[in-house]
Amino acid sequence: MIPGKTREILKQALKNAREILLSHHGKQVKTERKESIISVVTEADLAAEKCILETLNKTPGKFNIITEESGHVDQGSEYTWVVDPLDGTSNFAAVLPWFGVIIALFHKNIPVLGGMYLPLSDELFLTEQGKGAWKNGETLKASASQTPWWTSVMWLTADWGLL
């Protein structure tokens, strides 16, 4: 069972982060290199993460938190928030439209609640264990398509620092 107003707090955290990212998008951004040339952090990452953490800390009770930028805070809880305040930072910094905010809640290492916000297309995706998934409040249904997933999805990444 997910505690109290956790769903609403998740939605608010995603929406707040969206506003932060939109306020930074398209402006000249200062980036800092992390592990490699394609792993960077921007002021937008840090501002969105700060905003998300302030919102998630309103959740009743204690929750562990793992964030991409700040690391791990162990509160000894069975619940853990996992936060990527700006998934697609390199795209964001290059003013490409493929980036978003991702937050998930785990209970004893099992994902029970999650959300993703794509700021530029204003698409909010939510999912809850045993209850389903939604896009902007509309229920998502699994496709009956028999087409193999690899014919419609392709991921490509290269770490030029390692080539």
3-state DSSP of 47-60? HHHHHHHHHHCCCC
CA of residue 19 relative to chain centroid, distance: 14
| DSSP conformation class of 161 | G
Residue 159 token pair: 């770490």
Topology adopted by domain 6-141+153-162: Fructose-1,6-Bisphosphatase; Chain A, domain 1 (3.30.540)
- Predicted TM-score (pTM) of the model is 0.82
Across the chain, which has 163 residues, the per-10-residue mean pLDDT values are 86 97 80 57 89 92 88 91 90 87 94 95 94 92 68 49 41
Q: What angle do CA 100, 15, 130 make, to 5 degrees?
A: 80
Q: Tell the burial category of 59 from Cβ atoms under 10 Å away from its Cβ (0-12, 13-18, 19+).
A: buried
Domain boundaries, the chain: 6-141+153-162
Count how many residues are written for the chain.
Answer: 163
